[in-house]
Amino acid sequence: MRYNEVMKLYNTLTKQKEEFYTVKPGVVQMYSCGPTVYYTAHIGNLRAYVCGDILKKTLRFNGYQIEDVMNITDVGHLVGDGDIGEDKVETTARKMGVHPLEIAKKFTDIFMHDIERLNIKPAKHIVPATHCIEEMIALVQTLEEKGCTYRTSDGIYFDASTFPNYFQLSKGNLAGNIGGARVALGEKRNVNDFALWKFVGPNTIQKWDSPWGVGCPGWHIECSAISMKYLPLPFDIHTGGVDHIPIHHTNEITQSETATGKKMCNFWFHNEFMKIDGGKMSKSLGNVYSLQDIIDKGYDPMHLRLLFLQTTYRTVLNFTFDALDAARENYRNIVNALRRHRTATAKTDPKVIADLRQSFTDAISNDLNTPVALAVLHQTLKQPDSADIYRLVTEEFDQVLSLSLATAANTEVQTETIPDEITKLAEQRLAAKKARDWATADQLRAAITAAGYQINDTPTSYTLTKN
């Protein structure tokens, strides 16, 4: 059912919010940049896929069908993100003494398990780059025939000066062009030129024959080749992180539109970065967290998903464990309210239900304003207890939010006695927080979690539950 005829979406290409439309009536054709599978995706990576999931579920909520594709980068993404260095997957494989495809399979499996735990619906077509080498070679040949390429000692490059609209997505932001800032010009004619095909040495494991010699594809060519294989140009939406704007997505547009003479995509959807405790993620700081790390600390994946939804996708999210604690408490409050509505026998005025539904629809249809949608959810739960409210939230709102609210509300509440020693630790932690001794408070929380209990802060105290 179509709830709302008008949906607004911010378009990176035009730098403004636009009324959404599709090429094919009622059907959204979408391409999403997938992971480079040489490591376990951290929670900042996973936020991008939650944002894309909310987009797709909002579109479905508004009556659209989805035809979507996501690539898996298992070759071609070099360590420096430019055109130098070793392949990321192959580098990890060498360190672990296994074949690159073994590494790719391992981390693809972890990624797919992670998105399942976060209630992210996978794309209809999930395509590893190594499955489309022929398509990539054919695309490079097309670009060569159009006179837009040249050969260097290390590969075949696209001459960016042949594409006048090169900066249409990034709007000519040279300062943000990572490749231009970090990669020496070398044999490249222009700082923005990029590799389409890279020549490799005898020790490289993943390599293929081509008209130009043995090598492997550049990173950018895979997304153009895969999207063109599964979707007609122009397709409707391309998703990814803001870090992809100045290089990867700019180069995708350049090679796709040069090869076909058609616009690549009508709407470009980019989510913002995520910080940790106000700063960058860093292995040296020990703050690069995977989803499993979050689970091991006593949280549910739905607590993390709710934390993501509390900020709009175009806003930088600052992750802290205090914020995650608050999201966990928020989740429990939502579920407890739903339990009351689930068992109620009273009815709610149909007009009240219709107004709440429209408020929720208006929020998510306005560039996926999930914070406002969550505010509507809380407003809904404050209504007098009614099974109608329960159904509205679990059967309609949660189509988009995907917080497993019906499952949680139908789970029996376990009552238990908290051991005195755990309560003592919690009281010590409360005192430490009041004294603003955050280091001690964090140590005490870790001790409580290690003992198998969860502590959640309330405005004046805390709650304790067994994991």
Residues 321, 445: Cα–Cα separation, whole Å? 10
Alpha helices, DSSP H, located in 171-232: 178-182, 219-230
Q: Is the dihedral of CA 408, 412, 417, 419 positive or negative?
A: negative
Domain 8-271 has CATH 3.40.50.620: yes
Residues 233, 226: Cα–Cα separation, whole Å? 12
The per-residue pLDDT for range 286-308, each reduced to its tens digit, is: 889 999 999 999 999 999 999 99
Taking 70 as the threshold, does the pLDDT of residue 101 lie above it? yes
Q: In angstroms, what CA-CA distances link 330 with 305, 337, 393, 400?
A: 12, 11, 15, 18
Taking 80 as the threshold, does the pLDDT of residue 456 lie above it? no
pLDDT (0 to 100) of residue 3? 44
Query: CA 169 from chain center: how many Å?
Result: 20
* Predicted TM-score of the model (pTM): 0.86
pLDDT (0 to 100) of residue 78? 76
Residues 26, 28: Cα–Cα separation, whole Å? 7
pLDDT (0 to 100) of residue 1? 40
Give kind and range of the element (H or E) at residue 16. Answer: strand 16-19
- Residue spans of the domains in the chain: they are 8-271, 298-409, 420-466
pLDDT (0 to 100) of residue 466? 75
The per-residue pLDDT for range 254-280, each reduced to its tens digit, is: 999 999 999 999 999 999 999 999 988
pLDDT (0 to 100) of residue 317? 97
> What is the percentage of the chain residues whose pLDDT exceeds 90?
78
Banded model confidence at residue 182, pLDDT cuts 50, 70, 90: very low
Taking 50 as the threshold, does the pLDDT of residue 65 lie above it? yes
Residues 145, 125: Cα–Cα separation, whole Å? 30
Q: In angstroms, what CA-CA distances link 432 with 26, 277, 456?
A: 56, 19, 15
pLDDT (0 to 100) of residue 81? 56
Question: Backbone phi, then psi, for 180, in 5-degree steps?
Answer: -65, -30
Non-local (6+) Cβ contacts of 238 within 8 A are 30, 31, 32, 33, 227, 249, 252, 264, 265, 267, 268, 269
Non-local (6+) Cβ contacts of 293 within 8 A are none
Lowest mean pLDDT across 280-284, 307-311, 435-439: 280-284
pLDDT (0 to 100) of residue 433? 87
